[in-house]
Every structure is written in C-alpha cells, then in structure tokens.
Structure 1
Amino acid sequence: MEDELWELIEPLLPPWPRKAPGPRPVDDRRCLQGILHVLYNDVSWQLLPLELGFGSGQTCWRRLGRRHEAGVFETLHGILLAELHAADALDWTRACVDASHIRAKKGARRPARHRSTAGRRAVNTI
C-alpha cells in the first residue's frame, strides 16, 4: 500500500483500546494489507498465509468488522470521491444506477386499502 493512501486511512481508524486482553495487536497497516489481499485475491480468511506478515485471517476478519462498524470505509469512500471529483477524474457518463439502492416512489402517500373479510362466510372444505 502506498504511503499517500495510508496517510488518508490512518486518521480514520478507531483507536485500539489500551487495556485490550490478549497479545499485542498486529500493526494496522499490515492488517489492512491482509484484508485487501483476501478481498483482491478472493481467498478465504483461513487461507491467508501467516508468512506474508499480515496476521492471521481471523485477526484480519475481526479488524475488518471493527472498521466497518466504525464507518471507516464509508468515510474513506467519501474522501476518495471528493478528491477524484476535485481532480476532475470522474467520468459520470459511464455511471450506472443500481435500482436496489434507490427507493421506489409508488403512488400516493396514503396507506394501502385493506380488504375486509369479516362479512364473508368461510368456505366449508369438509
């Protein structure tokens, strides 16, 4: 990972609790490189080699969860988009909108009409 990118990411990371139980935590930068390695190479967390120095797959997976809960990746995404926009490096003509992320506005803002079944007799199926 390049130093320039790390300088953007490091201030966003939540501080590690000083009284956390267990061994000394893996370096944040190395752990993030492990997370990126797993995601980029599409390998399972269990298959992350310890020889690469990223920490165990379990450690990287837990750290990914903590950072996700802290909103690190969402904030980083916003920062990177702002930088690309400022540099005029975004090509919006190639943008695509996924309808699963957009709320559909259907009709009026009144509750749906419910049909009452109280006045009908039940059908005898015996």
Structure 2
Amino acid sequence: MDDLLMLSPEQMRRIEPYFPLSHGVPRVDDRRVLSGILFVIRNGLRWRDAPAGYGPHKTIYNRFIRWSRMGVFNRILAELAARAGDPDQLMIDATHLKAHRTAASLLKKGLLPRCIGRSRGGLTSKLQVVCDGKGRPLLLYLTEGQANDHKAAAALLEHLPPARHLLADRAYSSIGFRDALVQRGITPCIPPHAKHRIKHNYDPVLYRQRQKIENTFARLKDWRRIHTRYDRCAHTFLSAIAFAATFIFWINES
C-alpha cells in the first residue's frame, strides 16, 4: 500500500469531530474508506476500480453517497474554515468544469437540479468559489455553466464572513454587487469594466494577489473527477469538490 493515498492520523484527528455518530454496528475503518474516496476523486477512477487496499469498492461508494446526502463533506470544509477565524481578505471567482456524458445522461429527470448547462461548446457546470487571502476555499456554489456570475455571487453574499477587502475580476463589476459589499463593511477591489461609464477606483497592487484564487482552481482541477464531472447529482459532485478542497488546503498544508 506504499503507493496509495492514505490520510495520516493527524489529518484524521482534525476531521473526525465532524463525522456523524455511528448507531448500532460500528463503521468500517474510517481512515481506510475516506482515503479510498480521495484516491478515486484524485485519479478519476470508477468506484469499482478502487485499489483492493482500500477494501470493497461498494463500501467506499456507499459511504461517499450516504455522507454526501447528509452534507458531511460540506460541513467538514465549513467547520475547518470557521476555525481559522475571520479572514482579512476575500476573493471570489468562477471556473467552468466539463460534464461527461455519463453525468448528463439523466439531465431532465429527477426533482433536484443537476446544475449542468450548455456553455463553451459543450455541457458544463460552473463552480463559484470564495477564498481567503491565502487562497483557501471558504464557500463553494455550483450552477449551470451558462449561469450569470452575479446571481451566484448574490447567493453567496449573505454567507460571506467579515473581511476588510474582497478581490474579484471585472466580471463582478456592478453597482449592485459593490453596494452590497459596502453595506457589509467590505471594501471591493474590483477593476471597472471597460464599457461602464462610471470608473470605480481600486487598488492595483492589492488586486495582484487575486492570482491566488487562480492557483486554487488549478490545484483543484489537478484532481480528475473535479476537472471532469462524472457525478449525475449536483450534491455528490459538490461533496467531491468540498472533500478534495479540505484535503488540499485545510488538512494537507505544507
């Protein structure tokens, strides 16, 4: 098992307080099963192709689906981010993620939205991310690929933690978004759009730090089941992103 990804005891101690309680029969080894989930997400495997060192693939898959429906992975990310305290800076941006045909095969069925749309010449989902000043994800929001950035940003506004500044590119340069940030005591650092008549001032030196969120997207997309969406349900795909972000940025820091 030397070549397998395995969560360390210290990493497990950081996330164990947010696991659901086990009722009745004790759960199969959490460390082994969660490590198997991360291995599948990182390498873009089918669940049945998970190495035998992680145990039965059915156990790994069932744990991931069950905890995704319970919101466990999203809660782990939120709790670890909250423990870090209020950030001095926030950054927001979006990226497109390609949807594989298997993810879109039931596009029009089911009651819950699948957050898959058509943009950039194919089926995509759009991931909105709010990061702190170190580029660590705080909030995740999934929409259809063609969704407007301002609608997603408006949905995230009420969940923003207190901060001094928010950095964003000119796609977020609107009077409504700026005013909403100011009302929350956050100074926007957003360059004005070329077609806008009112040219708002911003700090170009501070704005250069926005490259950290671009690096965040690059690191997330190194994980193949995030770069390409195979999950049909939006909540399972978002759980995969949340668990990968937790491992990369919150419990695997160098």
TM range (shorter): 0.5 to 0.7
In the alignment, which residue of structure 2 is the partner of 1:60?
Answer: 60
Report how many residues are paired: 95
1:43 corresponds to: 45
* Alignment-derived partner of residue 3 in structure 1: 9
The CA deviation at 1:82 is: 2.4
Query: 29, 32, 43: which is aligned to 1:30?
Result: 32
Q: Larger RCO: Structure 1 or Structure 2 (Cα < 8 Å, ≥ 6 residues apart)?
A: 2
Larger Rg: 1
1:77–1:25 distance in 2 versus 1, CA, 3 Å:
closer
What letter is aligned with 1:69? R
Distance in 2 between residues matched to 1:102 and 1:91, nearest whole Å: 16
Residues 91, 41 of structure 1: alpha-carbon distance in 2 compared, 3 angstrom cutoff: farther
Distance (whole Å) between structure 2 residues aligned to residue 3 and residue 76 of structure 1: 16
Residue type of the alignment partner of 1:101: A
Q: 1:91 to 1:48 in 2, by over 3 A?
A: farther
Cα distance in 2 between the residues matched to 1:103 and 1:91 = 18
Match of 2:152 in 1: 101
- Cα shift at 1:84: 4.3
Q: What is the percent sequence identity of the aligned residues?
A: 29
Stretches of 4+ aligned residues off by more than 2 angstroms: 2-5, 82-86, 90-93, 97-104
CA distance in 2, matches of 1:55, 1:15: 21
Q: Is the 8 A contact 1:46 1:58 kept in 2?
A: yes
Whichever structure has more strand as a proportion of its residues is: 2
1:64-103 mapped onto 2 (5 Å cutoff): 64-85=64-85, 92-93=90-91, 95-97=92-94, 98=128, 99=149, 101-102=152-153
Q: Structure 1 pair 44/82, CA: closer, same or farther in 2 (3 Å)? A: same
Gaps of 5+ in 1: 105-126
Q: Which deviations, in whole Å up to 9, do the C-alpha atoms of 1:35-79 show, x marking residues without a partner?
A: 0010011111010121x2x12221111001121222211111112
Inter-CA distance 45–91: structure 2 relative to 1 (3 Å threshold) = farther
Residue 5 to residue 101, structure 1, CA distance change in 2 (3 Å): farther
Length-normalised TM-score, structure 1: 0.60
Change (3 A) 1:65 1:45: same
Contact 1:34 1:48 in 2 (8 A): yes
More helix by share: 1
